[in-house]
Chain A
Amino acid sequence: NAGVMQNPRHLVRRRGQEARLRCSPVKGHSHVYWYRQLPEEGLKFMVYLQKENIIDESGMPKERFSAEFPKEGPSILRIQQVVRGDSAAYFCASSPGTGDGRTEAFFGQGTRLTVV
């Protein structure tokens, strides 16, 4: 009964390094969403992907951030040249492909990124 699996759970990077966050959706789910939670704040939508396609990246910072969801393997959120302000919890969610906006999303446990 595997849910959404994210790894690593905790990630420490020095300023200027790259961070790669992985998300394996619920088996059979083809839609993945990434959210960022800054300390003491709610979750903010970043990007929505289907297999091999970015559907909506309206919440992604324009620079240094990218996401992919390949045909095989997990979804990856990549942050290049990290800065202290990137320190946050990054959550991945998945849902089955209905597209009618009424499907609930299942969330992973998150990756807590700390930039030192």
Chain B
Amino acid sequence: GDSVTQMEGPVTLSEEAFLTINCTYTATGYPSLFWYVQYPGEGLQLLLKATKADDKGSNKGFEATYRKETTSFHLEKGSVQVSDSAVYFCALSSSGTYKYIFGTGTRLKVLA
């Protein structure tokens, strides 16, 4: 079945450091890919998405490119801030379905 694998956390970075959170997926067909962010005590917020190969999603300085050849959707940010501290979830939605498969999440902690 479909699945999403994320790098395990926690990830601890200093402010202004470069961030990469790896995400790979297994799916039949051509899924849509998402990154959601969960701040402490809150629900999930959509950070960015990509619906087809080579699409790049971007928002708030975060970027991720849908790589079909490597089945990956890695999240990157050039300069993290303390306010980026949260849990990041990679997810997919397969074509023709309506439910999401989530990775286990990666906790990011940014130190001032």
Contact surface of A with B, Cβ cutoff 8 Å: 4, 6, 31, 33, 35, 41-45, 48, 55-56, 59, 91, 93, 95, 99-110
Contact = CB atoms under 8 A, between A and B. Distances in A.
Nearest to B104: A42
Contacts of A41: 104-105
Interface in B71-112: 89, 93-105
Given A91-B44, A107-B44, A109-B43, A42 B32 contact: no
B34 interface: yes
The prevalent SS among residues of B at the interface is loop
Contacts, number: 65
20 contacts: A4-B43, A33-B99, A41-B104, A41-B105, A42-B89, A42-B104, A43-B44, A91-B43, A91-B44, A93-B44, A99-B98, A101-B31, A101-B32, A101-B93, A101-B94, A101-B96, A101-B97, A103-B98, A104-B46, A110-B42
